[in-house]
Amino acid sequence: MSATARSRRSKATRDAHLFPTRPYDLVKEFVVAMLVVGILTVLLAVVFSSPDRKAVTLAAWAKAAPNDVVATATAELAGTSTSAGYGPPYNHAAPGQNLGPLRLQRLGGVRIPIDSANDLVISPLSAVTGDAALSVALRTWRSASDVQRTTWAGHYADALAAVADGDPAKVAAGTYGPVPILANRLMSLARSGSLEGLLTSGGTFYSSDETKPLLLLTDGTYLEEQARADHLGGDQWGMMNETGNYPGQPWMWLYTFWYQVKPFSTSTNADALVWGLMAALTLIFTFVPFVPGLRSLPRHLGVHRLIWRQRP
Amino acid sequence: MTTNQPDPRSWTVRLRTRLARTVPAGQLLPDRQPAYVRSWIYVFGVASLAAFVYVIASGLVLSLKGSAWWHTSSAGHFVNSTHLWSVELFFMFMVIHLWGKFFMAAWRGRRALTWITGAVAFIGSVGTAFTGYLSQSNFDSQWTAGQAKDGLNAVGIGSVFNVLNTGQMLLWHVMLLPLVLGVLIVLHIVLVRRHGVVPPFDAIPPDRDHAEVTGPPGADDALSPEPVAPVLR
């Protein structure tokens, strides 16, 4: 045997069962752990409780920020909202993000098809009866060409952006077609509390899918304003925080961290880049035992001397 | 002629033999541990397990009354609070356990799979907790879903794992992920019991006749197929 082989072999890990033993009551240890953790859990629950800020309903949104609802409805009709220009999995409006040459977002396909103008605005409004002006507006919208629709909605969106608070009452006269009525009626529908049901029912009695109302809500600015006020913004470590002074998900600190630093914080491709990086780091973490250098690091760090103070 | 000898072709006998080989007799619940197991760091593995039991138990109570119960009942809110804090403790203990095992290079001596199952269980726990936040049906769920969809959609996952679909997230949270996590944790514990607690670096058993080596050298001996020859000193 060579000297090197002998040296390496002398460093090999021996079978744990060959070392001297001492009495160790595993069951007692588990029972004590259960008691201690149980007491800690109940104490923390009693002292700190848990956060439960109510969900923002579409009615609450319409009452608190009606102009935001009108602006969002207009953006859906103009095709300029976030969801309208999102790309997969909702539509083909954009290629989506990529990881180098890998166009993973496109690869996922359009599996949750959403036509923002029709699904989030026109379709729920079509369920309203007894509103002659709305019926005319819907007929006008449906009979117009795509170019005409986009022109109307685009002009109205610009007009809303030009007035203080985006107040529709202050908008100057213009060629907006039926868009002002459609946007106004969607706001009224939301305020009445009927919009959620119209967006989630999808022709079925039961619903557990909030994709459409959440897309509409996140297309507006109200939800984000509320979240930012509660330190939940993307650049406020929002993914790991939760409402109030609660710990949230601190175990997601590394994932959230990348969004706070360049190039991720300024990249339009940030999500794909962060996910790619985290996937690589996760693989390294999982397969540490096989990563040269990293697997030997603990021996050199010496922290193990605090754990094993006496040599067996 | 009949015989009481077990039939080696019997699937039952084969399974029994395989199970007996996986965790040798006396190793599933041993009443002794190697003398070097003498540090508070060893407590955090069992503390993680205890917290996991409370996570499951409080989750089961929440399931009994339905997903909206905790919004309307003070008792429900308290149970939700125990669910939240047991999760926080679970992660705290697990992270300490994980760092402890890293500093011990606990994958040595053919324990690579033990590390891997623990690491995957940690990652699975992050996913399970995440779906819990999505299933709360409150403001946090709305905002977290709205933010998370972009990350998942950017890599094509969102088309099959729709964080805006509360029904899908709730089922992942209460059924699929805890089931996978439970299996991983059982596997992890079985592997710990099978291989025992990793010895200190370069430690040699005092009995020279039994100085058997269980893997290739140093910190690199994570997954050796068979024990190599005993060391002669």
| Residue A152 parent element (H or E) | helix A146-162
Domain B36-201 fold:
Cytochrome Bc1 Complex; Chain C (1.20.810)
Cβ neighbours around B211 below 10 Å, total: 17
pLDDT band at B25 (very low <50, low <70, confident <90, very high): confident
In this complex, the residue of A26, A110, A275 whose CB is nearest that of residue B154 is A275
Chain A from 39 to 98: CB within 8 A of any B CB: 40-42, 44-46, 48-56, 86, 88-89, 96-97
Q: What's the mean pLDDT in A124-151?
A: 96
Predicted confidence (pLDDT) per residue in A196-224, tens digit: 999 987 677 788 899 999 999 999 999 99
Predicted confidence (pLDDT) per residue in B95-117, tens digit: 999 999 999 999 999 999 999 99
Residue A246 pLDDT more than 60?
A: yes
pLDDT score recorded for residue A204: 77
Share of chain A above pLDDT 70, in %: 95
Cβ-proximal residues to B120 (8 Å cutoff; 6+ apart), any chain: A286, B184
Q: What residues in A contact B154, CB-CB < 8 Å? A: 96-97, 104-105, 269, 271-272, 275
Residue of A nearest to B210 (CA): A18
Q: What residues in A contact B145, CB-CB < 8 Å? A: 210, 214
Q: What residues in B contact A21, CB-CB < 8 Å? A: 32-35
Give Cα separations from B96 to A44, B37, B93, B100, B102 (angstroms). Answer: 19, 16, 5, 6, 10
Query: Could you tell me the two tokens for A130?
Result: 């007894």
pLDDT score recorded for residue A270: 93
Residue A192 pLDDT more than 50?
A: yes
Torsion angle (degrees, nearest 10) of CA A258, A259, A261, A262: 100
Domain boundaries defined on chain B: 36-201
Residue B166 pLDDT more than 50?
A: yes
In this complex, the residue of A11, A45, A307 whose CB is nearest that of residue B82 is A45
Inter-axis angle of helices B74-103 and A26-48, to 10 degrees?
130
Angle at B156 between CA A75 and CA A146, to 5 degrees: 30
Residue B228 pLDDT more than 80?
A: no
Predicted confidence (pLDDT) per residue in A59-86, tens digit: 999 999 999 999 999 999 999 999 999 9
Share of chain B above pLDDT 90, in %: 72
In this complex, the residue of A208, A246, A271 whose CB is nearest that of residue B150 is A271
Q: What's the mean pLDDT in B44-70?
A: 96
Query: Could you tell me the two tokens for A204?
Result: 């079925």
Query: Could you tell me the two tokens for A150?
Result: 């986009």
Cβ distance A78 to A153 under 8 Å?
Answer: yes
SS3 A189: helix
Predicted confidence (pLDDT) per residue in B59-74, tens digit: 999 999 999 999 999 9
In this complex, the residue of B78, B102, B165 whose CB is nearest that of residue A45 is B78
Average of per-residue pLDDT values in chain B: 87
Nearest Cα neighbor of B67 from B161, B139, B170 is B170
Give Cα separations from A171 to A40, A159, A167, B168, B170 (angstroms). Answer: 59, 6, 7, 42, 44
Residue B209 pLDDT more than 70?
A: no
A111 inside 8 A of chain B by CB: yes
Residue A171 pLDDT more than 50?
A: yes
Task: Count Cβ atoms within 10 A of the Cβ of residue A123 and give its class: 0-12 exposed, 13-18 middle, 19 or more buried.
Answer: middle
CB contact under 8 A, B27 and A252: no
Q: What is the ipTM of this complex?
A: 0.90
pLDDT score recorded for residue A2: 53
